[in-house]
Amino acid sequence: MSHIFPRSMKSSPPMAVGGKGCYLFDASGKQYLDASGGAAVSCLGHGDTTVINAIKAQLDTLAYAHTGFFTSEPAEKLADLLIEHAPSTLDRVYLVSGGSEAAEAAIKLARQYFVEKGEPKRGRLIARKQSYHGNTIGALSAGGNEWRRAQFAPLLLDMSHIDPCYPYRLQNEGESDADYGLRSANLLEQELLRVGPETVMAFMAEPVVGATAGAVAPAPGYFKRIREICDQYGILLILDEVMCGMGRTGTLFACEQDGVAPDILCIAKGLGAGYQPIGAMLCSSQIYDTIGAGSGFFQHGHTYMGHPTAAAAALAVVNSVLDRGLLKAVQKQGDALKLALNERFVQHANVGDIRGRGLFLGLELVTDRGTKAPFDPAHKLAAKIKAAAFDAGLICYPMSGTIDGKTGDHILLAPPFIIEDAQ
Ligand code: PLP
């Protein structure tokens, strides 16, 4: 009997024993094409020797030093590299161990910033329905995944959730993309006015929605208007690029494509590419300096933050993505994969939408393309597709997102950036 506490107690997954390039292998020798990089993690594929050697060299030098006592060379170099390429508003990097930790740190930083700035009434976060920011209590409170939130409702923080920018379902017939982008962004202003802008500290959103909706990119102009509203009412913009960042959409940061620069940005997944657990929260010097000139201490932290070995891995990953021209590869292979999905499925009765950016693509499944009616949740369609694909040696990521109780089934594809045409 296994003593592992698995994610699902109703299944017994095979034992993974190896990985090479875009493939994983189980103990029976079966090969799987990793078409979702786990959950959009393995951007360099498996067995990348550059990253492995960087980790080995760091272990030989220094595995770990607590950030309460030391900084380390890989952490400093990683922070420099990220800031060199990040939107110009961002100036400081707080290294953590994953996406939920990055989101949690972002929420707490926003709150502490306003306390130290002398605006202690600002404590409310506005986020969006059908979003995901992680599984810890703060991040789960910000997220709008009804299924994940349901049984923890009494523990969750009071936050606002507005409709996401979700063209397939929420754009009106005959409404232009630009008009929809504007109308959707203006929901933030309406919510600010409803709750009282002086009580709000930040708006938090994924530039391209991943884990709840399958690669939903915003309508044009959406984030520009969001930025304007944030500035007008003096609230911070937190962008969560844990899934869509680090090159996944074809630019190092997804928000570059929307011409928007946040005050706080979260990254993880592709940052460590699966070689080490690592995430980061980037913030502006305005936030950093306000706290620096006040208490001078961010009331937050984790034992493994700024981990030298994880930082060395991430440094090698980000340098590989930049130096090997992988952003271009993502754009090229993303276009090719989207075209292939369209050729294959655009007429399929049960495929309502094919969407996404770069190698971050989603299919939305419906019972009828005309009515866009979703499948009955009891059908567990996305889970069934995952299982059938897995049997056939293909890993894709299923998800069921919900808006106001209405469920939709989605399949996410997020293969490694090194994926080849035939694969
Ligand atoms: N934020 C986003 C946008 C995510 O997609 C995820 C994970 O899927 C998280 C946060 C949480 O990251 P982690 O699972 O590393 O805690």
CA 100 / ligand 1 centre spacing (Å): 6
Question: What is 336-385 written as a DSSP string?
Answer: HHHHHHHHHHTT-TTEEEEEEETTEEEEEE-SBTTTTBPPPGGG-HHHHH
Residue nearest to atom 1 of ligand 1 (CA): 133
CA 156 / ligand 1 centre spacing (Å): 17
pLDDT tens for the chain, 423 residues long, are 889 998 889 888 999 999 999 999 999 999 999 999 999 999 999 999 999 999 999 999 999 999 999 999 999 999 999 999 999 999 999 999 999 999 999 999 999 999 999 999 999 999 999 999 999 999 999 999 888 899 999 999 999 999 999 999 999 999 999 999 999 999 999 999 999 999 999 999 999 999 888 899 999 999 999 999 999 999 999 999 999 999 999 999 999 999 999 999 999 999 999 999 999 999 999 999 999 999 999 999 999 999 999 999 999 999 999 999 999 999 999 999 999 999 999 899 999 999 999 999 999 999 999 889 888 877 888 889 999 999 999 999 988 766 666 668 899 999 999 999 999
Q: Is the CB of 248 under 6 A from ligand 1?
A: no
Buried b (16+ CB within 10 A) or exposed e, 18-32: ebebbbbbeeeeeeb
Which residues, other chains included, contact 369 with Cβ-Cβ below 8 Å and sequence gap of 6+?
349, 350, 351, 352
Structural domains of the chain ordered from first start: 16-47+325-413 (3.90.1150.10), 54-323 (3.40.640.10)
Contact indicator for 324, 302 with CB cutoff of 8 Å:
no
Residue nearest to atom 13 of ligand 1 (CA): 99
CA 358 / ligand 1 centre spacing (Å): 19
What ipTM does the predicted assembly reach?
Answer: 0.99
